Structure 1
Amino acid sequence: MVDSEGCCGSCCRWWKNEKWGFDHDHPNDFLRSQWAPEDQLKPTLGYVIIRGLLFGYFLAFTTYFLIDSDPKYYFIYLTDWVFTVILVDGTVQFLLALWAYVKPSQEILVMTKVLTITWILSTITYGAAIVVTIGYWTLVYTESKENEDYQLYTDIVMHGVNSVYVLISMAIEAKPIRLKHVYLVVCWQCLYLLFTIIYYAAGGTDADGETAIYNVLDWAKPGETIGFSAVSLAIVFISHIIVYALYIFRCWIVADWMRTEHFHLDISRQKHKIGA
């Protein structure tokens, strides 16, 4: 029989030990791969190459979509917001990895502003990317595929590959994820919802002259749209939990694979063991 009180107590302690801020005992984790030995401070060449390929891929497709679409309407869609923030995150990750690779090996003792910004950016990017994937394929896809100019390939790139970016990034990096940082993704989603309200109130339309950016996000029908907004925020929490679970899974896999005596889980300043 499951001890519900014990489970709840463990979850409460886990949540209590989590931190809201951005201090971290091992700043070099933001520059290296999780799969490298703990005493290796620099990223490997393979890590830099993968970061470069991800950056190049999203730079190419963002440029293509900007050219192929009307720039005036490009940034009204959440998908394009997320695709752009992925490009920014990919650029920062690649440049940081390249910088750390070419400079002499050095241990970073305290979190810098650049590393903190990187952490915030990645947390928003990972959560938002999964929000778009879940939200689009469950709420918007059925309607989109009925359009005459519908292209499955473009759909997959815009609403599927973004989550592939998350999986690849989280698989190779050593950057921690904190459950309490979900507020960052919530703020991002609320910012987009606020934008749609302002855009609608200002008389903005899409390329077809419709006031609704998405049919499920039509402020001419405030009751339904508020309901959808609440659902979208629920998806944000689910998405961040998925990202956090991927982080825990990565730590467990690496600890088991490398047979380390302990592994640093970013929960509190104490060392928590995963595997043995």
Structure 2
Amino acid sequence: MTKLDNWKQNAPDHFYGCCMAKLRAGSEPPELFASSWSDKISPLLWRVPIFVWAAIIITWSVVSFWGPREMFLLYMTHWGLVMILLESLFGILVCFRKKQVEFSDAAEGMPLLVKTYWVLYNITVPLAFLISLFYWGVLRTQSARNINYAPDPILDLMLHALNSGLMLLELVLSRHPSRLLHVMQPLYFSGVYLLFTLAYFFADGHDPWGNPFIYPVINWFKPVETLVVLTLTALFFALMHILTVGIAAVRDFVLKKCTHDKSGLYNDAFEP
């Protein structure tokens, strides 16, 4: 039986796993999540600086926030910043776990620590790309005349440009896989934010300027337009996940060619 035939045979199970956003370890060992392209380079080399950067930028953002501090987490940008902090933190913990002890026996499955990191990674990388795309492609063009989301231009670049650059660095330098079937993990995360905006609307919430919305393009007083924007955003989020998987596949293809690794590609995107 070919690999394609096997995939077709298990398609219902894959579909169910995709809808449930399940993580099922394939042939990759847990140690892969604490590895980089080179055995001589530890992921701590970039995960620790990313964690420190995220902690500094969160502090800077809170201190210089343009509205009441309790409104800080209204914005997806700040959610993405917190996700970068958590993703890098768990990435660091995975590296330390590898140094201290072996992860687990293969029969016991993938450790919870590694699974948690993998889910955070699957969400955070495409989320950073989406935030940059949404900000520069929508907010800066549609609402720049009326609302200034970036009173500090340097912080603006940190939040909406460097965030994607750092997650691209994590993606390119890491060695663990990205799966197409994990697309529902970022989409469910976006669904949580959607429900949050809806709950905030029904609670008569306002932005720091007194507007009855968080973003002008997500205004529940205009439900049709808002649903169109949210649908397009979800599609772009899925595309960002596909882009992430594609970059990971190219990364591992180049790695295989450069190292003459005969064991196969680590990032088989169609694995469950």
| TM-score > 0.5, shorter chain as reference | yes
**Any residues of structure 2 matched to 1:255-266 within 5 Å, and which?**
255-263=256-264, 264-266=266-268
In 1, the alpha carbon distance for the partners of 2:256 and 2:170 equals 18
1:169 aligns with 2:170: yes
CA contact (8 A) 1:24 1:111 kept: no
In 1, the alpha carbon distance for the partners of 2:238 and 2:81 equals 20
CA contact (8 A) 2:34 2:42 kept: no
Deviations for 1:99-128, whole angstroms, at most 9, x for unmatched residues? 423x26677533111111111111011121
User: SS at the partner of 1:261?
Assistant: coil
Residue 234 of structure 1: aligned partner:
235
In 1, the alpha carbon distance for the partners of 2:163 and 2:91 equals 15
Q: How far did 1:142 drift?
A: 2.0
Deviations for 1:190-229, whole angstroms, at most 9, x for unmatched residues? 1101100100100111111111111100011111111111
Q: TM-score, normalised by structure 1?
A: 0.82
**Any residues of structure 2 matched to 1:145-156 within 5 Å, and which?**
145-146=144-145, 147=147, 150-156=151-157
In 1, the alpha carbon distance for the partners of 2:175 and 2:229 equals 35
1:61 aligns with 2:63: no
Q: How far did 1:72 drift?
A: 0.9
In 1, the alpha carbon distance for the partners of 2:191 and 2:33 equals 27
Q: TM-score, normalised by structure 2?
A: 0.84
Q: Which amino acid aligns with 2:168?
A: L
Residue 138 of structure 1: aligned partner:
137
Deviations for 1:56-92, whole angstroms, at most 9, x for unmatched residues? 1111111111222232111111111111111111111
In 1, the alpha carbon distance for the partners of 2:191 and 2:256 equals 37
Change (3 A) 1:105 1:152: same
CA contact (8 A) 1:22 1:116 kept: no
In 1, the alpha carbon distance for the partners of 2:267 and 2:57 equals 35
Which of 20, 35, 38 does residue 35 from structure 1 map onto?
Answer: 38
Residue 122 of structure 1: aligned partner:
121
Which of 65, 74, 77 does residue 76 from structure 1 map onto?
Answer: 74
CA contact (8 A) 2:104 2:111 kept: no
CA contact (8 A) 2:90 2:113 kept: no
In 1, the alpha carbon distance for the partners of 2:141 and 2:152 equals 13
Q: Which amino acid aligns with 1:113?
A: L
Change (3 A) 1:156 1:212: same
**Any residues of structure 2 matched to 1:204-243 within 5 Å, and which?**
204-243=205-244
In 2, the alpha carbon distance for the partners of 1:193 and 1:58 equals 24
Residue 24 of structure 2: aligned partner:
22
Q: Which amino acid aligns with 1:249?
A: V
Deviates more, 1:143-152 or 1:133-142: 143-152
**Structure 2: runs of 5 or more not aligned:** none
Q: How far did 1:262 drift?
A: 3.1
Give the RMSD, CA atoms, in angstroms.
2.6
Q: Which amino acid aligns with 1:259?
A: H
Change (3 A) 1:90 1:58: same
Identity of aligned residues (%): 22
How many pairs are equivalent? 252
CA contact (8 A) 2:80 2:124 kept: yes
Q: Which amino acid aligns with 2:110?
A: M
Q: Which amino acid aligns with 2:231?
A: A
Q: Which amino acid aligns with 1:155?
A: D
CA contact (8 A) 2:179 2:271 kept: no
Change (3 A) 1:251 1:108: farther
**Structure 1: runs of 5 or more not aligned:** 1-8, 37-43, 270-276
